[in-house]
Amino acid sequence: MEHEFDPDRLKPFVHVFAPNPRNTLFVKVDLTGGAVSPMGLADHHEAISAYILHDGVPEGIAIQFETVKNIYLYAWFVYRFFTVAEHHAYSCLELALRERLTNEIAFGELGSKRPGMRRLLSYAADHHFIRNEGFSRWRNRGQINSRHRVEMQKIREASELGLDSVSWDASEIEVTEEDLNWDYVRVLIETLPALRNEYAHGSQNLFNGASSLIEVVGEIINQLFEAPPTEISEMGGTLN
């Protein structure tokens, strides 16, 4: 596909407000009527606006999280900003963990004055500052895991049969006890530090997974700090 500008280089001034061509490839689907329409900037903004920290989160951390969201927003114009947003999201998460565990670190409870993200997350999990129940993905784990299992099964079948495409019906997705038995916090402890290190040491990753990461980081931060009483009431309780 030819474009009026190179999307990986500095845009010409006349194209500053043009969306990155990669973003124009995405569509949204009306799940009720099945209508398909192009994704627009308003849709992009609406998606990132959904991630909100409660008022109990320290201002400095909240500002960094808003910076992550703004970087994501402007990735509409510069696609590679998605990876910049991910990188800054990891930095924001580590900042929040260090802020929440300041005293524990000072008293040597983490074994180091500069513990890494894995140790910070592990300590937070072991002391129930973060729990599975605080993540929307864990609360929806049955459907997520069962769908993933069916997808992997169909992909394997397609590979074995040499098929170019594969499809399945929603009725094939059945939630099992195994699907519900998912320690999501431990998965995050194993994966987030490794991904963070990849960005910290330089990465050419162009996969847009920023939205999912920002959601997870926001949910961790909201669990680390106690929400004000008014917000706790609106949320129906707290995990702290």
DSSP string, the chain: ---SS-TTSPPPGGGTTSPPGGGGG-EEE-TTT--EEE--HHHHHHHHHT----TTS-HHHHHHHHHHHHHHHHTTT-TTHHHHHHHHHHHHHHHHHHHHTHHHHHTTTTSSSS--HHHHHHHHHHTTSS-GGG-HHHHTHHHHHHHHHHHHHHHHHHHHHT-S-----GGG----HHHH---HHHHHHHHHHHHHHHHHT--------HHHHHHHHHHHHHHHSPPPHHHHHHHT----
Query: Is there a domain that residue 9 lies in?
Result: no
pLDDT value at residue 232: 55
Query: Is there a domain that residue 4 lies in?
Result: no
Which residues of the chain are under the pLDDT cut of 50? Answer: 1, 233, 236-240
**Interacting residues of 9 by C-beta distance below 8 A, sequence separation 6+:** none
Query: Is there a domain that residue 160 lies in?
Result: no
Count of domains forming the chain: 1
Query: Is there a domain that residue 169 lies in?
Result: no
Q: State the Cα angle at 195 between 145 and 101, rounded to 5°.
A: 95
In this predicted model, what pLDDT tens digit does every residue of 144-193 receive, in sequence order?
A: 777 767 777 777 777 677 766 666 666 666 777 776 778 999 999 999 99
Query: Is there a domain that residue 162 lies in?
Result: no
pLDDT value at residue 78: 95
Residue 115's domain comprises: 19-135+182-235
Kindly report the pTM of this predicted structure. 0.80
Query: Is there a domain that residue 23 lies in?
Result: yes
Query: Is there a domain that residue 147 lies in?
Result: no
Query: Is there a domain that residue 173 lies in?
Result: no
